[in-house]
A and B are shown apart, each in its own frame.
Chain A
Amino acid sequence: MAVNAPMEKKNASSSDPIINDFAFSVATQNGSGSQTSNTVLVRTLFNMGIPVNGKNLFPSNIKGLPTWYTIRASKDGYVARRATTEIIVAYNQDTVTEDIQNTPEGGVVIYRDDLKIPPERDDVVYYPVPVRNLMKEADVPRAFKARVENMTYVGVVAQLFDLDMDVVWRSLLDQFGGKEKPAKMNMDVIHLAADWAADNLVKSDPYRFEAMNETEGKILITGNEAAALGSIFGGVHFVAWYPITPSTSVVDAVNKYKALRRTDDGENTVAVVQAEDELAAAGMIIGAGFAGARSMTATSGPGISLMSEFVGLAYQAEIPCVFWNIVRMGPSTGLPTRTSQGDLLSTHFLGHGDSRQIVLLPSNPEEAFEFGWRAFDVAEQMQMPVFVNSDLDLGMNNWMADPFDYPDEPMKRGKTLNAETLAQFIEEHGTWGRYMDVDGDGVGYRTIPGTDHPRAAYFARGTGHNEMAVYTERSDDWIKNMTRLALKLETVKKYIPADVIDYDESKSIGLISFGTNDPAIQEARDLLSANGVETNYLRVRAVPLLDTVKDFAFKHDTVYVIENNFDGQLHQIMKLEYSEDMTHIHPLTLGDGLPMTARWIVDSINAKEAE
C-alpha cells in the first residue's frame, strides 16, 4: 500500500534552508519496535516547541508487514497529514523501491545500507546508514539488538536535521516512563549513529529543525487516552468491553487512570470487566445503566454490529449507557487498522425498527475528553444510549492539544426518583409510571433498583409497554410511546453539543464536515483563501442534526459536505431531513483508509468549482 501521493513540486534549492516545515515518512516492518523510535521523534519535536503530528499507518499484523509512520512539522501549526513527505526513512526492503519512487524532487532518502535499492535518482539526496555495523559496535545485549536498531535512524535524523540531543534524551526518558536503564541503552545507539553521521555524511539538503515556542503549555495525547480521561472525570462506574482495534487503548487507559478514583482504602469506584464478546459487553453496560451506574463500552464497527440488538433494547427500555465507537474501515473486517468515518449512518440508525441514536462526533483530543464526560450527562438526562464516534486517526495517533478543561458543570444525573421524591411525585400526579411524560419533553422519571418504596419497582423490557411499563400489544399504546420517543429526540437537540460555525455573510461557499477532517479543512481553507476562494465552515458535532446545519446549508450558493467515507453519509442524513432542493449541496467523499489531507480537499474543491 502506497502512502505517498504523487509528488508535489517544491520550489526549494539547497541554498534556501527549509525550517520546521516539512514531513517525514518512516518505513519499517511492523513489530520491529519502530513505534518507540517514531514516538521519540514526535516527542522531541514537540518538546522543541515545534507544532507536530505523527500518524501511524500500520497493517493488521503483529510482526513483519510494512508499516509507515508519518511525522509532519509545521511552523504554521498545521497538523493534518500530508500525503507528500520530503524525507523518507527507508528501513524496509519490501517497500524501499516504492518509497524512493514516491519521494518528491528535492527530497531526502535515508536508508539502511544493506537494502537493495533501485538505481539512484539524481533529484533526491541519499544518506545510507550502516545499521549492521553500528549495531555491532553498539554496547547492547544481544537479546535487545533487534529492538533498538531503529534508534539508528533517530540518531541520523537528529544529526542531519539539528534535533536537540538533550531534548531527545528527555523524550526518550518520558517514553520509558522515567526508567533510565532502557532509556540509556537506546540513547547510546542514538549517539553512536549521530556521531557516525557527523563524521561520515555530508549535509546536502535544505531541511532542518529549529527550536520554537509554539507548543508551550500544550499536551501531546491520543484521542483514546482523552476519551478514557473524559470518562473517568465524567464519573464512569462500570466499563465492559471486548478487545478490538482501534478501541482497545480506550479501556487500557481507563484501567490506568481508574487509580485516580480509588478511595483512600484502595477500593475501586470504577469496575472494568472484559466480556466474552461484544454482545455481553453491551448487555453488561445496559444492566449497569438500568441499576443506576454510569456505564460505557469501547468498540469498533464489527462490535457495534454485534451490539445492535442490545442497543435497540436500551433505546426501547430507555436505559442510559455510553458507547465509544472508534471507527475503522468496514464493511466487515475491512481495513481493521485504517481510519474511516464510515459508521455514521449505521450508528445513528443502529437497531431494528424505528429508532435513532445520539452520536457525538469529536474532532480532537479536547473534544474526546469533553464528550467523554458529557456523554454520561446526555445519556442519563435523555435516558438513552449515547454513541461517541471517534476514529482510528484520533484514537490511536498522538495529537497536540490544549490541556483539558475541568468539567464546568456538576454531573447531571437526570430524572431519577428516590423513595422520598417518588412519594412526592405520586402525591402530585396521583400515580407514578416509568414512562409517564409529565414534563412534556418526552422524558419520564425513572427509579433505580434498591429504592425502598413499595411503588418504586417497574419491569424494564424491550416488548411493547404502556406508560406504567406494563406489557401491551395495543396499537394505540404503541403509537403513544413512539410519539413520546419522537418528542424525546427533539428534546435531545437541546442537550447535545452545538455545531462549530465560522460564518461570514460575504462568502458564498460553505463547507460542512465532522470529526478528524478538521485539521485538513482548516489548512485547506487557508490554501483556498490564498487563491481567492473564500469559504465558510460548519463542523457538525452531533447527530441528530441541529437546525443550525440546515440554516447554514441553505444560505450558501454552494456547499461541500466533506467526509472520509465512500457514500457521503452525512450528506445522506441531510437528504433524509431536508425536503428542499439540495442540488447546490455536494458530497465530497474520500474513504481511502487514511487521514484526509488539505491537498485532497483543495484539489477536489478546485475541480468542482471549475465545472
Chain B
Amino acid sequence: MAKQPIVNKLNLTKDDYQGRTTTLCPGCGHNSISNQIVQTAFDLSIPQHNLLKMSGIGCSSKSPAYFLGRSHGFNALHGRMPSVVTGALMANHSLRAVAVSGDGDTGSIGMGQFKHVIRRNVPFVYIIENNGVYGLTKGQFSATAEEGLELKYYGKNPFPEIDLAMEAIISGATFVARSFSGDKNQVQSLLEAALAHKGTAILDIISPCVTFNNDDDSQHSFKYGVKHNIPLHEIQVVNPYLVEEQDEIEVEQSEGEVIEVQMHDGSYIRLKSVDRDYDPRNKGQAMSTIIDAQRDELFLTGLLYYEEPRPTLPEIENLVETPLANLDDTLSRPSKDKLDAVMKTFM
C-alpha cells in the first residue's frame, strides 16, 4: 500500500498548491518565499480560485508562475503591479490577492504606485522580495542597497538606501512587516497574518540574490541575514476557523511580554517579545526603531507596524456585495425609461 498523501481541509495535497518549476537561480531567496506561500496556502486550505497572484517585472515578479498553479495570475509591468491589483480587486472584491514585487520594482520605478495603493488601502498582501540589486539586468544597485555597498561591475554605492518599511508607514500602511527569506517560520507566520489583514499588508522580505549581491558583509546576503536577523518577537497566528472543534487552541506559554492583535476575520496575532519591549501599534516607536536600526546596522524583523485598518477602497466606493465582474446585465444597464428621463433633461 502506497502511503496516503497528506491532504488539507479541501482534500488537496501540497502538490496541488505548487506552480511551474522555477527558472530563478538555484539558491535564490525568492524560491524560498515561493515555498512559504505554497506551504501557507496549503496549511490554511485557501481555495486557490479565490486568490489572485500578481506581480510587476523582475526576478521576483517571475515567481508567481512558480506557486499556486490553480490561481489566476497577472505578470504586469515594471513597477505597475499595484494599479493592476487595484483594478482587479475593484472588479471582484471577493478575491484575495498575493502580489510579489522586488526592490527595483517597488523602490524605484514603482515608488509612486507603491505609496498610492497603500494610501487607498487596497486589501492585499504586498510582498517585496528585497535583495538590493537588479538581477535580470545583471547587477546594478537598487534603491534599497546600503550606502557604501560594493558590487562587482558597478563599484561603490554612493547613495543612501530607501527603507521600504519606513516608506510604507509614512504612506499610511496599517500592516508593515520585515522578514528574512531564510526564516521560514517567521515568513509563514507573517504571511498568515497578512492574509487575515483587511488592508494593504506590506511584507518587506530580505531575499538574497545569490548571483549578484551575496558577499558575506552585504546587508542583503544570506550569511548576513542568518547571522544578524534579530526577531522583535515570536509571532503566532491563531485562527479559530481553522481549528477542528475537538482541537484545542494551543498558545505557547513562555516568558516575555505578549501582545494580541485581533484581526477582522476572527483570528488574532500573538506577538511575544524576544529581548526588547516592542509594541508595533505605536507608530512613533516603529519609525524611531527603523531609524535606529538603520543607523546601528541592525537587521530587525517581525511585525514592525500595525494599526486597525481604515476602510478599504471597495468599502469607500460603497460597492454592491456581488462582485462587479459578476453583476447581472440588468444591474449593468439601466432601463429605457431611465434613458428617456435623462434625455428630457437635455431638451
Contact = CB atoms under 8 A, between A and B. Distances in A.
Interface stretch (B183-191, B263-271, B279-287, B311-319): B311-319
A6 interface: no
A290 B85 CA distance: 10
Interface stretch (A9-17, A399-407, A490-498, A536-544): A399-407
Contact of B333 (A235, A310, A450, A459): A235
B41 interface: no
Contacts of A447: 72
A450 B94 contact: yes
B26 interface: no
B340 A403 contact: yes
A283 B91 contact: no
Contacts of B332: 235, 237, 261, 269, 294, 411
A403 B343 contact: yes
Given A273-B86, A287-B74, A447-B72, A237 B91 contact: yes
A313 interface: yes
Nearest to A266: B318
Contact of A284 (B72, B90, B323): B90
Nearest to A277: B112
A220 B70 CA distance: 52
Interface in A260-304: 260-261, 263, 266-269, 271-273, 275-277, 279-295
B69 A280 contact: no
A280 B324 contact: no
B90 A460 contact: no
A283 B333 contact: no
Contacts of B73: 457-460
A451 interface: yes
B241 interface: no
Nearest to B84: A287
Interface residues of B, number: 61
B83 A295 contact: no
A404 B340 CA distance: 8
B338 interface: yes
A293 B91 contact: yes
Q: Looking at B116, B320, B338, which has the most chain A CB atoms within 10 Å of its CB?
A: B320
A460 B75 contact: yes
A262 to B, nearest CB: 9
B255 interface: no
A410 B329 contact: yes
A268 B317 contact: yes
A292 B52 CA distance: 13
Interface in B152-186: none
A233 B84 contact: no
Q: Looking at B77, B94, B112, which has the most chain A CB atoms within 10 Å of its CB?
A: B77
A490 B224 CA distance: 57
A454 B72 CA distance: 11
Contacts of A273: 86, 90, 120, 313, 317
Interface in B102-153: 112-113, 116, 120
B64 interface: yes
Given A276-B112, A295-B87, A471 B72 contact: no
A472 to B, nearest CB: 12
A462 B77 contact: yes
A56 B259 CA distance: 63
Contact of B88 (A218, A290, A317): A290
B126 to A, nearest CB: 14
B90 A293 contact: yes
B99 to A, nearest CB: 11
Nearest to A319: B74
Interface string A225-261: 1000100111101101000000000000000010011
Contacts of A279: 80, 83, 113
Contacts of B346: 219-221, 225, 403
A277 B116 CA distance: 10
A575 interface: no
Given A260-B342, A279-B80, A450 B92 contact: yes
B20 interface: yes
A271 B90 contact: yes
Nearest to A470: B20
B338 A450 contact: no
Contacts of A457: 48-49, 69-73
A453 B323 CA distance: 18
B342 to A, nearest CB: 7
Nearest to B120: A273
Interface of B: 16, 20, 47-50, 52, 64-65, 69-77, 80, 82-92, 94-95, 112-113, 116, 120, 313-314, 317-321, 323-327, 329, 331-334, 336, 338-340, 342-343, 346-347
12 contacts: A261-B332, A266-B318, A287-B91, A289-B91, A295-B91, A404-B343, A410-B329, A411-B333, A448-B325, A450-B323, A452-B49, A459-B72
Interface of A: 217-221, 225, 229, 232-235, 237-238, 240, 257, 260-261, 263, 266-269, 271-273, 275-277, 279-295, 309-310, 313, 317, 373, 403-404, 406-407, 410-411, 447-454, 456-463, 470-471
User: Which 9 pairs show the lowest CB-CB distances between chains A and B?
Assistant: A287-B87, A283-B83, A292-B325, A235-B332, A293-B91, A291-B91, A288-B87, A284-B87, A219-B346
